[in-house]
Structure 1
Amino acid sequence: MNESLARLPREPADRFTRPFMRFLRIEAMTGVILLLSTLLALLLANTAWSASFLAVWDMPAGIRLGEIEVSRSLKHWINDGLMTLFFFVIALELKRELVLGELCIPRVAALPLAAAFGGMLVPAGMFLLVVGSGPGASGWGTVMSTDTAFVIGCLAMLGSRIPESLRLFLLSLAIFDDVGAILVVAIGYGDTLNWAALGAAGIGLAVVAGISRLGVRNIPVYFAIGSGIWLAFDASGIHATLTGVILGLMTPARSWVSDTRLHAILDRVVAYPPGDHWSGDAAARGDLHRAGVATREALSPIERLEIALHPWVAFAVMPLFALANAGVPMAATRFDATLTSAIVAAFVVGKPIGVVLFSVVAVKLRLGIRPRELSWSLLVAGSLLTGIGFTMALFIAELAFEATLLDSVKHGILGASIISAATGFLALNWLTSRRTP
């Protein structure tokens, strides 16, 4: 058999797209792009163009149909609209790991789940302990999350010295963190509930569940209904990004076409001898079309959506979010040292303590399993990286704090992220270098 015929035909564009797709598969590049976007935002916010740069994100944008108008600032559309895709992909990753991955074993999933719970509870408590009843006390949710991209980026710089068990533990922990944080946003930082809009959102979710059971697999249909659900949540008083989490967890994790059926359908196409069958023979065209559908549906909807959306989220949504939210004037005229210190302490100290403490309790009570290659020393060193809150911390800060406190909060988030990244990287580098012959 000619091996070249077993591949898809090459096009001139492949010279550019194939290297680019290899680039997209490097998970660590997400953190690099996010870092560059953050540095650019900080640079522009501290130059002569600062006022113009910050004003761009407050520009109104929207649509109007007669007397119906939907208008928000550009930052609002990024934070509430595009970030819904971010949470949708996070929920897809979580469900894939729980159904198809290593986390399908309950006791394996219990360890990062317990660690995530501790990593949310302890820093929130430490934040409230430092701030007390002072300004910004309601912003306790800001210190609960872990930035997945930056954590994975730090691990990628250490290469193969980091065991896969630690990568899986920290990735799962960060995903659980993000889902927990968006639930906190939906419950703790929403507005007065609009029950009619909430009922409309519930009906939309019921429609999604119904047509899924009926076998509708057209993604644009789900996108249209999902957009309606987003608008309903946006009007309901519950933060609209919750739409992404719910729809992600509702996405089927099993493929429609089994391997056996796929092989049978493809064998039927391969059985045709070489020749021009597809343009005239109706039966042959039908077999070819059926093979196209089968190859697409042999992947589960979760995997197909993840493959399609992850590059857009990693290289468009998250950099845009960083540009819109990370621009902090370093010479802030209003600065609350207590608030900044509380955020730094919660992330740098509270987060690792919560992760390690709850991990130990889960293992001691035999609720969770710690892999043999994941030593306690590695887990402790890795827990230092969980203090990198960045993306979700900035996201929640925009909702939780008054504008007069935001600069102080962002200083704390940036400082804590730098300290956590540096200490975690150095600790892991020291531990793994000692083990490397």
Structure 2
Amino acid sequence: MTLKKQLRSLLADKRGQAEQLPQSPIDWLSQPLARFLKIEAAAGLVLLFFTLLALYLANSSFSAHFVAWWETSIGFKVGSITIEHSLHTWINDALMTLFFFLIALELKRELVLGELRKPKLAMLSVAAAIGGMLVPACIYVFLQLGEPGQHGWGTVMATDTAFVIGCLALLGKRIPKSLRVFMLSLAIVDDLGAIIVVAIGYGNTIDLLNAGLALAGFAAIKLMSLLGIRSIVLFFIAGAFLWVLVDASGIHPTVTGVVLGLMTPTTKWVSDERLHNIVNALWAHPESGHKRDHHINTKLLKTAEAAAREALSPVERLELMLHPWVGFLVMPLFAFANAGIPLSLQEMSAAISMAVFIGFVVGKPLGICLFSWLAVQCGLAERPSDLSWSLIFACGVLASIGFTMAMFIANLAFAPEHINAAKFGILSASLFSATLGIALLFMVTKKNDTQFEQRTINTDAQ
């Protein structure tokens, strides 16, 4: 090896060391765990585990204790407002607010920074989501019109983002990027639509005084943002007080998460150029051991730390921070509290279970394909060249997995004597749709790969 190559190799090694943090003994455990948490399918696997565990406990000798535990009452008092709910309600109303907050953050990022900022591509997902909500609801109402479960039409409108993304992750690189974007955007818009359904269709009588105080609270949080307050802790404290006001107003409190998520800024406080200047200033001022230099370096390090943090927009920072908590704590806990139903068909309404099942399995694919086709034909939307209609149909089947949001709405929509029948329909539809959707996507992508290979061979032969 020449001297020039040796120097280049040495510099490369030094540069690589400079770009990495020092290693610690605990890294042998933390690094594989961190890699697992980044796998898209991981959250879906954890969610599936707690779903099966809840089903087992609800149908075991522990079922009475399991059900009674979720009814444990927990409460507190803020001034003249007393908030007291069961543990089950706290999970569904308070913890799920974080889930809705994350959904709203993802939607805003996609609208401002992501693929949805392209109007025609965005309209394809929006049209598909609208069709995937309206058609299942219409089918459900047709099947349950005048029946005890008529009010549960909102249950079949939702798509479970975590399970859908987890299923797509199982197929790896076979899935084109346009399909992932389409499905993620569809699921986000779908969830937002479901939230609107919760707010309008399943809200309580409005307390105008507390609703007015809640509006003032939203204005105060906007003012905090305009004044330049960037402490996430302060915003979360203000958001918690706001949640109490919205809950007391009679509006479903999870709406708080949606509004705050859409209010979150997408602009960075520190530009990339300023961040580079700060880092370069730190690099250009090496430690000399002198007290004054040490003080300057400490100040530069603190500035660089703040700049690195603020070089991401609040939307992106909050997404990165909340995603593992929602995926690996909030949603599994929700599944654990809601999926435990006794599998005794004699005690269930078969008509409600069948209406939920058909609404999902038939309505979702039909609505998504029909409204996507209409949007493209009318010139409102544009379909990417690698997103075939067979892929969109397979996605429609996969979108029939409505687990988390469907369970959430079912708890609001159905009377206690019908809730287990609705949940049985949700679980069976989700299992059927996941199996069929993955199989269809596998067949369609395999066919596309075969056609591509055949075209390549023909081109080489020519």
TM-score, normalised via structure 1 length: 0.97
Query: CA shift at 1:10, angstroms?
Result: 3.0
Residues 374 and 60 of structure 1: CA distance in aligned 2, closer, same or farther (over 3 Å): same
Deviation at 1:419, TM superposition (A): 1.4
Code of the aligned partner of 2:355: A
**1-structure distance, mates of 2:221, 2:79:** 29
CA distance in 1: counterparts of 2:280 and 2:89, whole angstroms: 51
Kindly report which structure 2 residues correspond to 1:4-43, keeping only aligned pairs within 5 A, or say none.
4-43=17-56
Q: Find the aligned partners of 2:104 and 2:319 in 1 and give their Cα distance.
A: 10
Q: Is the 8 A contact 1:78 1:321 kept in 2?
A: yes
Q: CA deviation at 1:285?
A: 2.5
Shift in alpha-carbon separation, 1:188–1:37, aligned structure 2, 3 A: same
| Partners of 1:306 and 1:234 in 2: CA distance | 24
**1:332–1:407: 8 Å Cα contact kept in structure 2?**
no
Following the alignment from structure 1 to structure 2, what is the Cα–Cα distance between the partners of residues 359 and 404?
38
Paired residue type of 1:292: E
Displacement of 1:56: 1.0
Instruction: Name the structure 2 match of 1:102.
Output: 115
Structure 2 vs 1, CA of residues 307 and 276 (structure 1 numbering), >3 Å: closer, same or farther?
Answer: farther
- Alpha-carbon distance between aligned partners in 2 of 1:287 and 1:423, rounded to the nearest angstrom: 56
Deviation of 1:323 after TM superposition, in Å, equals 0.5
Deviation at 1:6, TM superposition (A): 3.2
Paired with 1:277 and 1:426, the residues of 2 have a C-alpha distance of 67
Residue of structure 2 in register with 1:72 after alignment = 85
Is 2:211 the counterpart of 1:198? yes
Structure 2 CA distance, aligned partners of 1:406 and 1:279? 69
Task: Tell me, yes or no, if structure 1 residue 130 matches structure 2 residue 125.
Answer: no
1:382 to 368, 382, 395: 395
Query: How far does the alpha carbon of each residue in 1:170-190 deviate from its partner, in whole angstroms, 9 at most, with x for none?
Result: 111011011110111011101
1:112 maps to which of 125, 132, 136: 125
1:417 maps to 2:430: yes
Distance in 1 of aligned mates of 2:81 and 2:225: 31
Q: Secondary structure at the match of 1:193?
A: coil
| Alpha-carbon contact 2:140-2:358 (below 8 Å) kept | yes
**Does 1:47 find its partner at 2:80?**
no
Amino acid at match of 1:199: G
Give the counterpart letter for 2:311 in structure 1.
Answer: A
Please state whether the residue corresponding to 2:347 is helix, strand or coil: coil
Aligned to 1:215: 228
Q: Given that residues 278 and 284 in structure 1 are in contact (C-alpha distance below 8 angstroms), is that contact kept between their aligned partners in structure 2?
A: no
CA deviation vs aligned residue, 1:204-229 (integer Å, no higher than 9, x gap): 11011111111110111100110111
Could you tell me the percent identity over the aligned residues?
53
Q: Give 1:396's aligned residue.
A: 409
Looking at structure 1, the residues matched to 234 and 432 of structure 2 have their Cα atoms a distance apart, in angstroms, of 45
Amino acid at match of 2:433: S
Q: Match for residue 177 of structure 2?
A: 164
Alignment correspondent of 1:246 = 259
Task: Provide the residue aligned with 1:359 in structure 2.
Answer: 372
Are the aligned partners of 2:155 and 2:409 in contact in 1 as well (CA < 8 Å)?
Answer: yes
Contact 1:277 1:285 in 2 (8 A): no
Q: Deviations over 1:292-341 (max 9, x none)?
A: 11111001111111111110100001110000000010015432111111
Gaps of 5+ in 2: 1-10, 451-462
> What are the residue-to-residue correspondences of 1:54-69 with 2, within 5 Å?
54-64=67-77, 69=82
Instruction: Report whether the alignment pairs 1:311 with 2:324.
Output: yes
Give 3-state SS (helix, strand or coil) of 2:417's partner.
helix
User: Normalised by the size of structure 2, how large is the TM-score?
Assistant: 0.92
Call closer, same or farther: CA 1:65–1:173 in 2, change over 3 Å: closer
* Matched ranges for 1:289-328 at <5 A: 289-328=302-341
The one-letter code sitting in structure 2 at the alignment partner of 1:364 is Q
State which drifts further: 351-360 or 20-29. Answer: 20-29
RMSD: 1.6
C-alpha separation in 2, matches of 1:299 and 1:348:
40
**SS in structure 2 opposite 1:9?**
coil
The answer to whether the Cα contact below 8 Å between 1:162 and 1:432 also exists between their aligned partners in 2 is yes
Q: 1:229 to 1:43 in 2, by over 3 A?
A: same
Provide closer, same or farther for how the CA distance between residues 280 and 269 of structure 1 changes in structure 2, counting only shifts above 3 A: closer
Structure 1 residue runs without a partner (length 5+): none
- For 2:34, give the aligned amino acid: M
**Whole-Å separation in 2 of the counterparts to 1:209 and 1:378:** 42
Which has the larger Rg?
2
**Paired residue total:** 437
Structure 2 counterpart of 1:225, one-letter code: A
Per the alignment, in what secondary structure is the counterpart of residue 94 of structure 2? helix
CA distance in 1, matches of 2:433, 2:26: 42
Matches of 1:422 and 1:269, distance apart in 2: 54
Distance 1:233 1:73 in 2: 18
Aligned partner letter, 2:405: M
How far the C-alpha of 1:64 sits from its partner, in A, is 4.8
Residue of 144, 147, 159 corresponding to 1:146: 159
Task: Describe the SS at the equivalent of 1:436.
Answer: helix
Contact 1:278 1:285 (C-alpha < 8 Å) held by counterparts: no
